[in-house]
Amino acid sequence: MTELTERDFEATVLQSDLPVLVDFHATWCGPCRMLAPALEQLAGEFAGRIRFVKVDVDEAPELAGRYQITGVPTLLFFQNGRVVDMVVGLASLSALRTRLARLAGPAPAAAETAPVGGCCRH
């Protein structure tokens, strides 16, 4: 997950072609550290469909203020430059996966492959 500054936020989040999950966190926050592995896993699952980024509220207080972040962790879900969903506090992996699936839309169809093994009849 990419750590953003106030300077990168507009181009990376607000102008993104993909939906974006923004993890507002702090280095001193225990629940933020507990959530990080789940977000890394989900970032892998939704690669190419949702962009995952982090904002340290102590390093970017203006952004935290703009989005009224009063507790961490807070996850904001952006689509087309607008906040469309929000989770405050520690959420389960399955709950986050459900929200992200809604945000991402249907998964791309798997490519068709030839059957493995067996023999063809002529």
The catalytic residues are 29, 32
Residues 6+ apart with CB under 8 A from 69: 24, 57, 63
Tokens standing for residue 68 = 């009224």
The pair of three-digit structure tokens given for residue 75, joined into one six-digit string: 């996850």
Report how far apart, in Å, the C-alpha atoms of 73 and of each of 28, 64, 84, 89 are. Answer: 11, 11, 17, 5
Q: Catalogue the long-range contacts made by 94-97 (C-beta closer than 8 Å, 24 or more residues apart).
A: 96/38, 96/39, 96/42, 97/42, 97/45
Query: What are residue 20's DSSP bridge partners?
Result: 51, 78
